[in-house]
Structure 1
Amino acid sequence: MLDHSIRSNPKGLQEAPSLLYMHEDLLRTNGGSWDNPPHKPVWGKLHASVRDLFIESRKDQSLWGFKDPRTLFALHGWLEVCPDLQAAGIFRHPAAVAKSLQQRNGFSIAKGLHIWTAYNQKLLEWTDVLDLPIIEFSPVEAVMRPRLDAIISKIGLGARDADSFYDPAIPTSEAHNQMTLPEETRDTYHALRARALA
């Protein structure tokens, strides 16, 4: 069970608004933001209350979940009350993300790569701690569909609507072969690829 999208990206976001705002406030309360996240923010009572109300609102759902990249920096707070939660991750090439952030937010390529590295180092950390399954995004349908099948199988879900949800026609920016990556970014990317399914 996912939540809302936005008009310009009808399938891409799907963040639950209550969690998006709570996670962002959690980062800001700890001196950061989504584009400058603190490493391990301290949860406050308000953040825990929003979390608990969200879980309560899903009590009649046999299967539910949420998606928000900020969760990488907030996951310790979720594990306190959902120790058996099943997480899964997906990552893109750092240059593709940096170019997307440049187009969407006006960030420099260097800043975009810095943001990618911060989030994906955290993803790498959780991948090792939780044995979290991850896949690399590809705009090529013949490559991406087996990866989706692999991660869906890994977390024990049926395919159901996965085929109809994935849309290779949605434009992406994946022209990145010519970009030289900072060493830290490159090493993180290679480490993720070594752990990725399919």
Structure 2
Amino acid sequence: MNDKKIAFIYCVNNRALYEESVRYVKSLHVPEGYEIEFIAIESASSIASGYNQGMRQTDAKYKVYLHQDVFIVNKNFLYDIIALFEKYPKLGMIGVAGAKTVPKNGVWWESTQRFGKVYDSHTGEMKLLSFKDTELDYEPVQAIDGLIMITQYDTPWREDLFTGWHFYDLSQCQEFLLAGYDVGVVRQNEPWCVHDCGIVNVKNGFDDYRKKFIDVYGENVQSLNKKFSPTKNNKLFLVLTLHRSGSSATAGVMNLLGIDMGKNLLPASESNKKGHFENRDFVIKNEQILNSIGASWYNPPNKKRLLAVMINPQEIRYFLSKQVKPFWGLKDPRTLLTLDLWLPYLKEISDITYVFVSRPFEQCVRSLAKRENISLSDAVKILAPYLQNYYEYKETLTKNNEDVISVNFEELIEKPERFVSEINKRLGNPSLENIDKVREFLDKKLKNF
């Protein structure tokens, strides 16, 4: 094995793309005494078989398996990978994007523990795809994306199992992990690579290979998920609700039962005389998110606009770290608009119980129109997007077997026992503990229409 040699191994079906990728590699700074080699496997029956063929053709210690449409833009790429491998002998393979945990469906990019960054065009538009940053030299993960996979040891690719173009990468990650090596996503100040893949084709066997990956590696994946998942010694009760749905009463009950709704709460008002039980700082964060795209609680954005919001992950994590208690809650109707941005970070730090509060839509509309002194039609325009998101999130979270509590405002007022029991069960308390305090708190006269 030549430890002063780096081989770049490609499966090629487009010579123009391959040659462009090679030009980028040839522009990299090469450490003194090292040589680089290019191996192009054409007409491979699968990625795994092509990479096995390339691996057998070279004596290079370091191998870079990359797609023909990947362009390495980090000029110090070779210095960086060699330094990492020399410093960490246990590090078997690295990439630029991946996931610490793998969901049960095997699709790594649906994980809440994603790391890395790359310029990528899988949506049809070239843009920065950026996940969490790591403060380490590399973040140990279970999966790296196959756009580029860099190794210092050889492990055969499972061409016997993955005979096409999908899940060869996650399979190889598992093979390295089973062999006792680390797999990592490297720390990048700026993206190392551009991946000009275009819209990804997931119709050519993707689902079949996904199922095969789960069948072969599912048990090991779940075991590693437990190892890699951060310890969560707290529970968040996240209230998801329309405006004027009775969520203040619901959150008030949660607060009475021992859930910390926050220290800096919005004060009571004429329309909520017993309090909103909304964390003022959380409400401000939601307003800032909405305002950044010219939206507001009364001018709701669609999800596409919302996902264009650029948030600071470190700032969000710091904010949430200051809110966490053993049992804590967050309630703000705006969360139905911003949940997609919050959810990855909330899942990082807490087990979540989702509390869906409902009330007949026409009652919400009348109550909002009265509070804001607007027409019923204007109130409908405001609340309709909330209602759509409410049903979509409830369906998705229930389908994914998340912990969901549904509470109807009318039932809560008339018969609070069921909701009190559901909350106490999760707090580890007797079923109807504090029920008398709850009944005293729930004032039927304060319903707003």
Q: Which residue of 2 aligns with 1:17?
A: 280
Q: Which residue of 2 aligns with 1:45?
A: 311
Are the counterparts in 2 of residues 135 and 151 from structure 1 also a CA contact under 8 Å? no
Q: Which residue of 2 aligns with 1:177?
A: none
**Secondary structure at the counterpart of residue 15 of structure 1:** coil
Is 1:149 the counterpart of 2:420? The answer is yes
> How many equivalent pairs are there?
170
Are the counterparts in 1 of residues 267 and 276 from structure 2 also a CA contact under 8 Å? yes
**Secondary structure at the counterpart of residue 330 of structure 2:** coil
Is 1:29 the counterpart of 2:292? The answer is yes
Q: Which residue of 2 aligns with 1:63?
A: 327
Instruction: Write the distance in 2 (CA, Å) between the matches of 1:96 and 1:112.
Output: 11
Q: Which residue of 2 aligns with 1:194?
A: none
Instruction: Write the distance in 2 (CA, Å) between the matches of 1:147 and 1:116.
Output: 27
**Which amino acid is the alignment partner of residue 437 of structure 2?**
S
**Secondary structure at the counterpart of residue 407 of structure 2:** strand
Structure 1 residues 99-123: Cα deviation after superposition (integer angstroms, max 9, x where no partner): 2212211121112123232212111
Instruction: Write the distance in 2 (CA, Å) between the matches of 1:71 and 1:52.
Output: 17
Instruction: Write the distance in 1 (CA, Å) between the matches of 2:411 and 2:311.
Output: 41
Is 1:135 the counterpart of 2:400? The answer is no
**Secondary structure at the counterpart of residue 122 of structure 1:** helix
Are the counterparts in 1 of residues 365 and 379 from structure 2 also a CA contact under 8 Å? yes
Are the counterparts in 2 of residues 127 and 133 from structure 1 also a CA contact under 8 Å? no
Are the counterparts in 1 of residues 286 and 335 from structure 2 also a CA contact under 8 Å? yes
Report which of the two has the higher share of strand.
2
Q: Which residue of 2 aligns with 1:6?
A: 267
Are the counterparts in 1 of residues 268 and 276 from structure 2 also a CA contact under 8 Å? no
Instruction: Write the distance in 2 (CA, Å) between the matches of 1:98 and 1:127.
Output: 20
Distance of aligned partners of 1:171 and 1:51 in 2 relative to their CA distance in 1, 3 Å threshold: same
**Which amino acid is the alignment partner of residue 353 of structure 2?**
Q
**Which amino acid is the alignment partner of residue 44 of structure 1?**
M
Which protein has greater RCO, CA pairs closer than 8 Å, 6+ apart? 1
Is 1:172 the counterpart of 2:447? The answer is yes
Displaced runs of 4+ in structure 1, greater than 6 A?
A: none
Instruction: Calculate the TM-score normalised by the size of structure 1.
Output: 0.72
Give 1:123's match in structure 2, choosing from 378, 390, 401.
390
**Secondary structure at the counterpart of residue 86 of structure 1:** strand
Give 1:104's match in structure 2, choosing from 371, 374, 389.
371
Are the counterparts in 1 of residues 412 and 419 from structure 2 also a CA contact under 8 Å? no
TM-superposed CA distance for 1:49, in Å, is 4.7
TM-superposed CA distance for 1:54, in Å, is 2.7
Are the counterparts in 1 of residues 266 and 276 from structure 2 also a CA contact under 8 Å? yes
Instruction: Calculate the TM-score normalised by the size of structure 2.
Output: 0.34
Distance of aligned partners of 1:170 and 1:2 in 2 relative to their CA distance in 1, 3 Å threshold: farther
Is 1:81 the counterpart of 2:356? The answer is no
**Which amino acid is the alignment partner of residue 407 of structure 2?**
I
User: Which protein has the larger Cα radius of gyration, Structure 1 or Structure 2?
Assistant: 2
Distance of aligned partners of 1:127 and 1:139 in 2 relative to their CA distance in 1, 3 Å threshold: closer
Report which of the two has the higher share of helix.
1
TM-superposed CA distance for 1:12, in Å, is 4.3
TM-superposed CA distance for 1:147, in Å, is 4.4
Q: Which residue of 2 aligns with 1:187?
A: none
Instruction: Write the distance in 1 (CA, Å) between the matches of 2:314 and 2:283.
Output: 14
**Secondary structure at the counterpart of residue 27 of structure 1:** helix
**Which amino acid is the alignment partner of residue 7 of structure 1?**
A
**Secondary structure at the counterpart of residue 386 of structure 2:** helix
The two structures, once aligned, show a CA RMSD in angstroms of 2.6
Are the counterparts in 1 of residues 424 and 433 from structure 2 also a CA contact under 8 Å? no
TM-superposed CA distance for 1:55, in Å, is 1.7
Structure 2 spans left out of the alignment, 5+ residues: 1-259, 399-403
